[in-house]
Amino acid sequence: MTTTTPSVPRIAALDALRGFALGGIFAVNIAIMANPAGFAEGPVRAFEEMFLHNRFYVLFSFLFGYSLTLQFRSAERDGANATARTVRRLLALVAIGLLHTVFLFTGDVLFGYGVIGFALLALRGLGARSALRLAGVLYTVCLLLFVALTVARIGHPLDAAQVAADNAAALDAVRAGWGEAAAYRWDDWVGRLGPTVVFGLLNVLPLFLVGLAAGKARLLEDPARYLPHLPRVQAIGFGLGLPLSVIPVVLHIPHTEALGYISGPLLAAAYAATFLRVIHARPAVSEVFAPAGRISATVYLSQSLIAAIAFTGYGFAQAGMWSDGAVLAFALVTFALQLVAARWYTRRFRYGPVEWVLRTATYGGTARMREHARATVSGPA
């Protein structure tokens, strides 16, 4: 059966922000995709730690929470069961994320989003203020936990020989064929599953809750409401976040990992505020990023597929063979091409392939790909 899924108004700022975040996420993920050991000590790693790491997943998680409120509104408008719809969507995310983890990239976020999304679903009745308070409590607990773990590691450095051996084994596995690489990813994922869920509840769920609060307030749907506050967000975010991020790296101060969980949200907010001001002043910039944001799951998974073809045994097996600068440049060029491809694609199709699967799972039936009528609200101009 073919169905026309409910028309959900697009929010231009939300789509553009999501597209912007995808570029930063790929620039961070590519380090592990190209070499399980990540970037080596040097300028590229320093740049990543100062300006990219712990920034864009924060923004993407916020946007996920915001988007969930749109799903609830859509269900209410259609007289449908919002809980049932959301459960089906989250289960689809879990399934897609698990496949992504095993066959492409162990750094997948979709599985975690699906699992932690059930906690957000249970908390959807919270008011905006209550959601923000709970987010603050959970994030504080997360920060204190990381401080405690950091202190516990002082005086107990990792065994360099064991780390090198583990990295070499991981490199051999990702250069191998499907079976060996999938087995390695499965074992790695299972070994990290418990800590990943705990991290998600303490670190990602608070970001979902902030997005939930913003969505309930319809914050991004009226530029007149948020634009006057953006300069202050920039001043606070950059003013506090940059020193916390840059100084430990430049001065090589050890045991400062927990600072990333303070500077990350500050800089993510500052980046988002800056981007929103840019797209308000230059609407053409929004038109560059928004198409990728509309098919964000497809773009995200295609990044892993492209990297797998380049670096693993599925394709050219180049893992560990490129300089860090070349790897980062590869990510930036690839993302630029994705922006072009997404713009071409969304002019012809309503949904990306992954979005089509998610909508089919959410609404039932089969969504029509080529119906392009779409309402857009709250453009940046």
Assign 245 a pLDDT band (cuts: 50, 70, 90): very high
Average pLDDT over residues 302-329: 96
pLDDT at 9: 62
pTM: 0.93
Say whether pLDDT at 156 is over 80: no
Section 287-296 average pLDDT: 98
Lowest mean pLDDT among 4-13, 182-191, 197-206, 287-296: 4-13
CA distances, 339 to each of 18, 132, 228, 279, 325 (Å): 12, 33, 29, 16, 21
pLDDT value of residue 3: 47
Of 80-84, 238-242, 275-279, minimum mean pLDDT range:
80-84
Q: Which residues pair with 366 in a beta bridge?
A: 2
Confidence (pLDDT) at 370 = 74
6 has pLDDT over 80:
no
Q: How confident is the model at residue 152 (pLDDT cuts 50, 70, 90)?
A: confident
Q: What is the pLDDT of residue 8?
A: 53
* Confidence band, pLDDT 50/70/90 cuts, at residue 155: confident
Interatomic CA distance for residues 147 and 124, integer angstroms: 30
CA angle 122-128-131, nearest 5°? 50
Residue 124 near residue 72 (C-beta atoms within 8 A): yes
Higher-pLDDT residue of 213 and 380 is 213
User: Cβ of 332: how many Cβ atoms within 10 Å?
Assistant: 13
Stretch 347-356: mean pLDDT:
95
Model pLDDT for residues 29-82, shown as the tens digit of each residue:
999 999 999 999 999 999 999 999 999 999 999 999 999 999 999 888 888 899
Q: Distance between CA 222 and CA 213 in Å, rounded?
A: 15
Instruction: Indicate the pLDDT class of residue 317, thresholds 50, 70 and 90.
Output: very high
d(CA 11, CA 70): 10
Question: How many angstroms separate the first and last alpha carbons of the chain?
Answer: 40
Cβ neighbours of residue 117 closer than 8 Å, sequence gap 6 or more:
64, 68, 86, 90, 93, 208
What pLDDT sits at residue 1?
44
Tens digit of pLDDT for each residue in 93-140? 999 999 999 999 999 999 999 999 999 999 999 999 999 999 999 999
pLDDT of res. 311: 96
Tokens representing residue 265 in the block? 């949200």
| pLDDT confidence of residue 375 | 46
pLDDT bin (cut points 50, 70, 90) of residue 166 is confident
- Asked if 311 contacts 318 with a C-beta cutoff of 8 angstroms, the reply is yes
pLDDT range class, residue 380, cuts 50, 70, 90:
very low
For the chain, give the mean pLDDT.
91
Of 133-137, 157-161, 298-302, 344-348, give the lowest mean pLDDT range. Answer: 157-161
What pLDDT is attached to residue 367? 67
Percent of the chain with pLDDT over 70: 94
